[in-house]
Structure 1
Amino acid sequence: MNLDKSYFEDEVRDGFYVPSDIKHAWAAQLEVLKDVDEVCRKHNIQYFAEWGTLLGAVRHHGYIPWDDDMDICMKRQDYNRFLQIAEKEMPEGYQLFNINSDKENDNMLTRIISGRTIRLDKAYLEKYNGFPFSVGLDIFPLDFIAPTKEDDDFQCELIKIVNDVAQFGREVNAMDTEATKEILDIFEEHIQKVEQLCGINIDRNKDIVQQMNVLIDRLSSLYTEEESEYITIMAIWVDNRSYKLPKEYYQKSIRLPFENIDIPVPYAYDSILKKKYGDYMKLVHTWDSHNYPFYIRQVDILKTDAGLELWGYHDTYVDYKNYKKLISDRRNINCIRKQISKNNGVKKVVFMPYKASLWYMMDGLWNEYNKKQDVEVKVVPVPYYYKNYDGNAEEYIDTDSYPDYINITSYKEYDYKEDMPDEIIIQNPYDGNNMAGTVHPDYYAKTLALYTDKLTYIPYFKTDEIDENDMRAYRSMYAYVTMPGVIYADEVIVQSEAMKELYVKKLTDFFGDESKEEWNLKIQGYGYKWLDDIKVVSSIYKLSDIWKERLKKPDGSYKKIILYYIGINGFLEYGIDMASKIHRAMDVFMENKDNVVCMLSFEGDMKDILSTEDERLLVAYKDIEDKYRDYIVANNELRVAIEVCDAYYGDASSVAQRCRNDKKPVMIQDVSI
């Protein structure tokens, strides 16, 4: 799978900081999904995105930013077929992990994994995008609920009885000393009860608990699609009789974008997600960081057994203090050199951005310095490289993309070691400690600090303010706080006082309580004053002349733009009612056309999908298309429509989430109104 190098970079999504190691884990999971998808397509095995992967596909067109795993589901018949075929046809190295393969496992699902060991060989790293750890996805079986309450009660009670016996067996196996005869006799009575109820024989020479788990799995699939009306995940249904969905929801699938590929989702995904999460468009962080990310234990194993740490900053506080002494000594020497040279009382300040797209985070401070008569300001973009898994690097060049009002000086023409500016301002904190990219070693923070009186660091990003209980967000701070740019800077300017407190806490946790005052002095929380001044540049100029004319009022100002977005789910789940809803909504927009313009957009290849579903729906869609043709935005124009719109109206979707991220009003439509 070919992914753009920029995909692996640290990124803020929906206000959450996603580290590059997580991005590499995602990329590895996508490779697993690709291989699973190929087998399923070949053998006509139906599968669907499940849980957070389903929510991510609909709301984000990719991973939920604070999620680290991938889930899919299959109806029981497809699930069983896949397990039989996968062992033979999945690419070399894959293994199944479930109750049949591992007696210690009692989860009623299957995890398909890339292997059971950490691998640093070229072939593995090449396939899994530089990610050395075991990676996989979870497959949940969907079972059908008994057609009558009596049958359902009996099935669930039977599963509970067998599960209780399995739990008793686990407790017996976990005893520090050999179980007494009394306990073993009780266990035997329970086993015999299961044998009588289920009409089976339990082999006493094999693992009892594993046999019980296999039996539970068989009992979960007693009923077929033909005789049932509802579908469920039986492990949930046994204890929560509200978790059921009409089987029709899983009869058809549509494919939605997911990161750089697509993934099948149930056509009734809106109803399914409402059942699972309620208002699923509301962002709810997962605060628990236990076993997050999923490979954290493997990281510890690699460190303990092989002494390898593949990313991150690892110096001690003693290392830091020693290097600060070196910086101080060098600055004393530099001071003597500066006294000899003449600078006419002018302060030299050098901004060193590393990507043009991130300049806006420096722009406020640059403007402040640029207005001062006694300050000479230079902007010197530093060389930046994407890392490959094999240690090679590819230079990224975007010097021509900086704003025209900035006078760029090439790093090839500027020698900071000779110039020794009064202040250097950077925005890349990582030095060489990031998996995805690096600035040239000449521009590492540790090196720059030797040749300036003051090294200032401003983050190139802004996150949402972090709740103190959000342990996943706090854990992710290791990737941008305990880094050389923060540690060796003389001043660190972050977005708020609350964020300053978290930076101080994170650094103190890392280096020890004795270091706390140092971070408290150097980190400042007034970055918000420049963030608040960032101007949102209108993107109307990107529109066609026809759209510009349609938007313009007689006085030269522009009308408000409402992006009206219709998902595929709307037509498939609500049918003709969806078409009627669109007509009603468009009538309202037309009645207010002097002040409002609607940009109507449809998800994906709507016409192609409807042509295979229902002739009436296709006719209804074509009628809408013909009637409102002038207001329809093509898929390749959607990005600009999101930029220019003043508000969003329509179906729950990733487009709605992107508008919400841009702080635009979002209203999810109700088809019945």
Structure 2
Amino acid sequence: MVELDKLTFSEEWFKDEVREGFFVPEMMKRFWAAQLVVLSEIDKICKRHDIKWYADMGTLIGTIRHKGYIPWDDDFDISMLRDDWERFFEYARQELPKEYKILTVEDEEQYTLALGRITNGTTINLEKEHLDKFYGCPYVTGVDIFPMDKIYNDSEKEEERRDRGNDVLKACSILAARGTEDKELLALLLKIEKANNTKLPRNYKLARALIVLLDKILKECRDEDAKEVASMYVWITEHWAKNPIEVYQEGKEAPFEHTIVTVPTRYHELLTNYYGDYMTVKRGSGVHNYPCYGEQEHRLKEHLGHNPFRYTLDKQSFDVKRKHPKQIDELQSSLQLLENTRAGLEAAASQGQSADAEALLQKNIEMTATIEKLIEEKKNGKKTVLFMPCRAKWWESMRPLYRKAVSDENVETYVIPIPFYDCDHNGNVGERHDERDLFMADEHFTSFDEFDLAGIHPDVIVIQVPYDGESYSMTVPDKLYSEELLKYTDELVYIPCFDVIDPVSDTDPVAISLKTFIEQPAVVNADKVVLKSEKIRDLYIRVLTELAGEKTRSYWEEKIVLLENYKF
């Protein structure tokens, strides 16, 4: 663990992985890293000016329960007492890097949220300097900063404040739906003006005036003896999540991914008040669109015609036809050609038309017999199946299919662990890794360097690396890309290197995050994709059909099979 001002990440950290059964893609890791860079700038200002901040909300759950991000979370929440919050933004306006953006009601005319936000820019940035600084993340990201506002000790006074706040929020809702001339709105505005001793415009400036008034109501309690605080918007609208002010006055350090963050010393009291049993994982739909950079990713793809940071299936050029012919098909084509020429050779030999005709006929017969024997062996002989796992920790995902192969007396099984390389966001290929010594090897394992792939031409090759050079965190030798391996087998089988939990709905982040892992070269190129769950299979078929077009649905339905139904 390192302090935020010494923030760094290993190449390993950026690789796709599964946490708690949830797939976390490489770009989400880069997005997280960029958020932590923003947090490090916030932390510098806070340390310079003795301002206290604390991990809060979902980020606090992640810190305590996961020692990092909740796997299906993609924002970073911190809190400050209102006085510290105001001091922080006063200094931030002068001290943040010039490309950063401050979002508060005071700083941005169109901003309406009851919290502050610091972002690392305002638009997608593909410049190398930016990508290097933010670990390959081109998207706008940042940190949400919640002010914790005081609650009046006088419950009647506090209830009156809540009523005023809710009236303003109701006015905002009516204005957005029905405009400034609505009779209910006009009556409500009179009530708001009287209750808050203010005057509101009745024109296009009204929306902004209401937001400014709401902000004033949220932070109005400055009583020195106030005993409780809350995220005031939530308190006013939902009447919960208040805490003793002391909770936000004392903190301690806690590990978070590769670094250290500050949490309230009384975090258990805080989280229990917010969420009840916060240590129990609850999955399902998120509170906001996941991933939060999804819209930016879509805009980038629309602008460039593809996503430059991962593989993009091109609907226009996609073809269900195999990129390289199968050996059995080539043998049958050769056999057909020999049969087509034999009649002419037989006629020429019987009529003595050519001195070489009889020799050519004999050669034709011999070649026909050889090819027929090869075809017979291909169809009815013992099958050669080659498994090509990559990382030792991924072997468990491939092992069930491997066991199926070794238990089949008609299958001759080989296993060759393949090497891989680290990559970075600039496309540089780094250190080579070979994990074959980490596998629990048996008699079926053999050396990558000793196996004659072209000479043996396995009937089936089983792979688990999906990227084909389309990842910015790892790659394998070019000759082991799925498209290349089609040359050396009649059936290329892809089985994902990760086992994930089933999604509970189409909007479940489990399903959304997995789309990135589904849209991969090996999935497109393989003859068969073997999965272990009916729900995951349905998701693959649905996602790939959406990408390639409805006419391809039957192709995916035939190609993507369950492990229990796959036969060598």
TM-score, structure 1 as length reference: 0.70
Secondary structure (helix, strand or coil) at the match of 2:59 reads helix
Counterpart in the other structure of 2:330: 333
What is the alpha-carbon distance in structure 1 between the residues aligned to residue 9 and residue 565 of structure 2? 34
What is the alpha-carbon distance in structure 2 between the residues aligned to residue 395 and residue 330 of structure 1? 35
Please list, as runs of the form range in 1=range in 2, the aligned pairs for 1:122-141 lying within 5 A after superposition: 122-141=128-147
Secondary structure (helix, strand or coil) at the match of 1:480 reads helix
Shift of 1:203: 8.2
Counterpart in the other structure of 1:583: none
Preserved CA contact (<8 Å) 2:8 2:258: no
Q: Partner amino acid for 1:423? A: V
What is the alpha-carbon distance in structure 1 between the residues aligned to residue 173 and residue 553 of structure 2? 48
Count matched residues: 520
Higher RCO structure, 1 or 2 (CA under 8 Å, sep 6+): 2
Preserved CA contact (<8 Å) 1:331 1:452: no
What is the alpha-carbon distance in structure 2 between the residues aligned to residue 187 and residue 509 of structure 1? 44
Counterpart in the other structure of 2:364: none
Please list, as runs of the form range in 1=range in 2, the aligned pairs for 1:107-146 lying within 5 A after superposition: 107-146=113-152
Matched, 1:485 2:483: no
Secondary structure (helix, strand or coil) at the match of 1:424 reads strand
Residues 378/255 of structure 1: CA separation in 2 closer, same or farther (3 Å cut): same
Residues 168/367 of structure 1: CA separation in 2 closer, same or farther (3 Å cut): closer
Find the partner of 1:154 among 154, 160, 176: 160
Counterpart in the other structure of 1:393: 429
Matched, 1:300 2:336: no
Q: Partner amino acid for 2:230? A: T
Residues 194/466 of structure 1: CA separation in 2 closer, same or farther (3 Å cut): closer
Preserved CA contact (<8 Å) 1:493 1:525: yes
Residues 448/289 of structure 1: CA separation in 2 closer, same or farther (3 Å cut): farther
Residues 222/339 of structure 1: CA separation in 2 closer, same or farther (3 Å cut): same
Shift of 1:438: 2.4
Q: How big is each residue's C-alpha offset from its partner over 1:247-299, in whole Å with a ceiling of 9 and x where there is no partner?
A: 22222112221111122111222122222112222221241586321111111
Shift of 1:503: 2.5
Matched, 1:496 2:493: no
What is the alpha-carbon distance in structure 2 between the residues aligned to residue 377 and residue 225 of structure 1? 76
What is the alpha-carbon distance in structure 1 between the residues aligned to residue 242 and residue 32 of structure 2? 30
Counterpart in the other structure of 1:424: 461
Shift of 1:365: 3.4
Find the partner of 2:83 among 77, 82, 90: 77
Find the partner of 1:41 among 29, 39, 47: 47
Counterpart in the other structure of 2:399: 363
What is the alpha-carbon distance in structure 1 between the residues aligned to residue 254 and residue 43 of structure 2? 14
Q: How big is each residue's C-alpha offset from its partner over 1:27-55, in whole Å with a ceiling of 9 and x where there is no partner?
A: 11121112212221222111111211111
Preserved CA contact (<8 Å) 2:326 2:489: no
Q: How big is each residue's C-alpha offset from its partner over 1:354-403, in whole Å with a ceiling of 9 and x where there is no partner?
A: 21222233334334434666644333233322221112121341333233
Preserved CA contact (<8 Å) 1:48 1:264: yes
Counterpart in the other structure of 1:287: 285
Find the partner of 1:381 among 377, 399, 417: 417
What is the alpha-carbon distance in structure 1 between the residues aligned to residue 564 and residue 182 of structure 2? 67
Shift of 1:56: 0.8
Shift of 1:97: 1.2
Q: Partner amino acid for 2:110? A: E
Counterpart in the other structure of 2:264: 266
Residues 386/377 of structure 1: CA separation in 2 closer, same or farther (3 Å cut): same
Preserved CA contact (<8 Å) 2:284 2:509: yes
What is the alpha-carbon distance in structure 2 between the residues aligned to residue 162 and residue 465 of structure 1? 43
Counterpart in the other structure of 2:488: 451
Shift of 1:487: 2.7
Shift of 1:133: 0.8
What is the alpha-carbon distance in structure 2 between the residues aligned to residue 528 and residue 519 of structure 1? 15
TM-score, structure 2 as length reference: 0.82
What is the alpha-carbon distance in structure 2 between the residues aligned to residue 519 and residue 158 of structure 1? 57
Secondary structure (helix, strand or coil) at the match of 1:254 reads strand
Q: Partner amino acid for 1:390? A: N
What is the alpha-carbon distance in structure 2 between the residues aligned to residue 460 and residue 247 of structure 1? 48
Counterpart in the other structure of 2:4: none
Find the partner of 2:478 among 441, 462, 471: 441
Residues 217/406 of structure 1: CA separation in 2 closer, same or farther (3 Å cut): farther
Counterpart in the other structure of 2:36: 30
CA-based RMSD: 3.2
Preserved CA contact (<8 Å) 2:306 2:312: no
What is the alpha-carbon distance in structure 2 between the residues aligned to residue 284 and residue 425 of structure 1? 35
Counterpart in the other structure of 2:248: 250
Counterpart in the other structure of 1:649: none
Preserved CA contact (<8 Å) 1:21 1:435: no
Preserved CA contact (<8 Å) 1:103 1:209: no
Counterpart in the other structure of 2:361: none
Please list, as runs of the form range in 1=range in 2, the aligned pairs for 1:177-576 lying within 5 A after superposition: 183=181, 197-199=195-197, 207-224=205-222, 226-288=224-286, 291-316=289-314, 319-321=317-319, 323-324=321-322, 326-328=323-325, 332-333=329-330, 339=371, 347-370=383-406, 375-399=411-435, 400-405=437-442, 409-526=446-563
Please list, as runs of the form range in 1=range in 2, the aligned pairs for 1:85-124 lying within 5 A after superposition: 85-124=91-130
Q: Tell me which structure has the larger Cα radius of gyration.
A: 2
Shift of 1:193: 6.3
Report which stretch shifted further, 328-337 or 26-35: 328-337
Preserved CA contact (<8 Å) 1:87 1:95: no
What is the alpha-carbon distance in structure 2 between the residues aligned to residue 520 and residue 190 of structure 1? 58
Q: Partner amino acid for 1:148? A: D
Secondary structure (helix, strand or coil) at the match of 1:359 reads helix
Shift of 1:309: 1.2
Q: How big is each residue's C-alpha offset from its partner over 1:485-515, in whole Å with a ceiling of 9 and x where there is no partner?
A: 2232222221233433333333233333332
Residues 395/196 of structure 1: CA separation in 2 closer, same or farther (3 Å cut): same
Report which stretch shifted further, 8-17 or 314-323: 314-323
